[in-house]
Structure 1
C-alpha cells in the first residue's frame, strides 16, 4: 500500500512524489547557493577575486562555518513543523489528508523531535528557551490527544496540567530577567521571556476547524519565505578565512604590517585579502612574522541577565571552552611587534 490514509482521504502517490522530488532538489542546492553568495560577498563582487577564493578556500572549511553558524535553525524547523502539523491534525482531521504539513508531522519519528529538543536546548540563546519550552509542551499535549485518548483526568493533566506547571516553573526562573528587561526598556526581551510560558496551555488542543489552516499553514508559509533570507543574511557575515597580520619588510629595512584575511601560503608568496577587497601577494623573503588575529568581539545587544546568565548566550557557549586573548597583539592593530 503506497498511499497515506488519514481523515479526508489519501494524498495521491504521484502528487506526493512530485512534491518530494522538488523538495529534495531544492534542499541540497540551497547550501550551495549560500556558499557561492558568501564568496561573492567576500570578494566584494569582483569576479577574478572570487575565482581566486574558489581556488584556495577549502569547501570543508566553508561547510563547517555554515554548520556552526546555522546549527540552531535545524531544531527550529523540526519543532515548528511538528507543532503546527499537530494542531492541524487535531483541529481539522477531515482536511489533514490534503496537507503536507499534517502528513509531515504525522510521520515524523519521536526520536527526531527528542534530538531536536536536545540540540535546541544547547544551541539556542537563553531568551529563546521559554519558546522552546512552549513548543515542547505543545508537542507533548498534541501527541497525547492524537495517540492516547484515555481517562479524562489523564488527558486534562497532559494538555493543561503539564503546560501550566512547566510555564509556572519557567516564569519563576526567568522572572528576574523580565523585571530587569522592563526596567532597561528592552520590551522585546521581556516578551520573549514572559509570553511563551503563558501560551503553552493554549497550544495543546484544537482550534476552530474553520481557522485551522489559517493558523497553521500561513505561519508555516511565512516562515518558509522569510527563513532563507534571514539565513542568508546571517551566513553572509560569518567568517570563512582567518584574520591575520603579517610583518613585511627587507632584512635590514623598515617594517610595516599588512592586515587582512589569509588566503594561502605557497613556496613563493603569501596571499592575503584586505578589508577593501584588494588581494595582495607578499614575497616570502619579505615576511618577517605572522600572527593569527582573533575575531572582534561584538558587544551584546542586550545587557539583561537571568540569574547570572546573559540572555544572548547559549548553554553550549557556557560548556564549551572559549579562547580569549587577554592582550591584543600589536600587529593586529597595524603596529610592528618591535618598532625600531
Structure 2
C-alpha cells in the first residue's frame, strides 16, 4: 500500500489499515442489522412471529426491498464525500494527509463519481436534481484545482465558467416550478429548486483555511451520524410482504375476508400476518378466493411540477410504466365478492 503524500504528511499505513478494517466491518453489517430490525418491527416485537417470518421470507425479497428503498442514498454518500473532501484538500493542504475525509476523496476513482452521478440523475426526485448539479460542478471545480494548477485559462473555465453556465441552464429549466412553488406557498420546494444553482460557483474553489474544517469535516461527521437513523426509519416502513385479502368460509355458508400480509402458502394452510401482528393460519379447504391488494397511495406532499414533471418523482419513476388500478377490489376493503 502506497502513502498519500501531501504537505501535512501521510496517514500512517497501519492506522489507515485499521480504519479501513473497521469500515469494511461496519458496512456489510449495517444492511444485515436493517433486515433484522425490519423483521422485528414487522412482527410487532414478538419473537415467535419474527422467527416464523425468518423461516418463510425470502432473503432475496428483503434485499430487493432494501435496494429499491435505499438506492438513492448510495450516490448521495459518494458525491457528498467527494465534494467535501475535495474542498478540504484544496483549502487546507497542510492537514489533508491527516483527514480521513480528504484521503477518501483523493482515493475515490473518477469512474465511481461518474456512475454515482448517473444513478442519482435517475433515482433522485426532480426537486433534488439542482442539488445534484451543484455537487457535480463542485467536484469538477475542486478536481480541476488539484490537477490543472498550471493551466490558468482551463482552471478559470472549469471553476467559474462551467458552474455559471450550468447554473443558468438549471434555473431556466426549473423557473416555472419556482414560480409555481411560490404561488402555492411551498417555500422549501422553491428553495430546493432555486438556491443550489446559485451556490455552485461558490463551491468550486478553496474556502478560508480557518473555516475549512468547520464547513467540510463537521458536516460530514453530522451526516454520518444522522444518515443511518434516517435510512433505518425509511426502510422500517418499506413493504417486504405482499398485501393480500383472503376470502374464507364454507362453500355454502357465510364468508369473511381476512386482510393482511401474505407470509406463505403450503399444502395445508395459507399463513397471513394481520396488521395488528396476529398470525392467522387458514386451512386451504376454507379458502374461497384471494387477491393482491395495492399499497395505499400517499397523497403528494407537493402539487408543483416543472414542465409537466412532478417535483416528487424521479426520472426513473416518471419514465417507467406503472401499474394503476382503476377499481379497488372489494376484498381489499374487507367485503366479500358476493355478499349474502
Fold similarity call, TM over 0.5: yes
Pairing of 1:64-143 with structure 2 (within 5 A): 64-143=64-143
Residue equivalent to 1:50 = 50
For residues 322 and 290 of structure 1, the distance between their equivalents in structure 2, rounded to whole angstroms, comes to: 23
For residues 256 and 69 of structure 1, the distance between their equivalents in structure 2, rounded to whole angstroms, comes to: 34
For residues 280 and 184 of structure 1, the distance between their equivalents in structure 2, rounded to whole angstroms, comes to: 47
Structure 2: runs of 5+ lacking an equivalent: none
Shift, 1:247, TM fit: 0.5
For residues 238 and 336 of structure 1, the distance between their equivalents in structure 2, rounded to whole angstroms, comes to: 28
Task: Say whether residues 1:217 and 2:217 are aligned partners.
Answer: yes
Residue equivalent to 2:40 = 40
User: Moved runs in structure 1, 4+ residues, more than 4 A?
Assistant: none
Cα shift readout 1:32-82 (whole Å, capped 9, x = no counterpart): 110111011111111111111111111110010000000000000000000
Residue equivalent to 1:21 = 21
Q: Secondary structure at the match of 2:263?
A: strand
Residue equivalent to 1:158 = 158
For residues 153 and 21 of structure 1, the distance between their equivalents in structure 2, rounded to whole angstroms, comes to: 42
For residues 151 and 143 of structure 1, the distance between their equivalents in structure 2, rounded to whole angstroms, comes to: 13
For residues 151 and 22 of structure 1, the distance between their equivalents in structure 2, rounded to whole angstroms, comes to: 40
Residue equivalent to 1:304 = 304
Residue equivalent to 1:242 = 242
State how many pairs are aligned. Answer: 340
Shift, 1:153, TM fit: 2.6
Pairing of 1:186-205 with structure 2 (within 5 A): 186-205=186-205
For residues 173 and 150 of structure 1, the distance between their equivalents in structure 2, rounded to whole angstroms, comes to: 35
Q: Secondary structure at the match of 1:26?
A: helix
Residue equivalent to 1:260 = 260
Q: Secondary structure at the match of 2:339?
A: coil
> Mean alpha-carbon deviation: is it higher for 36-45 or for 123-132?
36-45
Pairing of 1:166-181 with structure 2 (within 5 A): 166-181=166-181
Cα shift readout 1:299-324 (whole Å, capped 9, x = no counterpart): 11111111111000000002222111
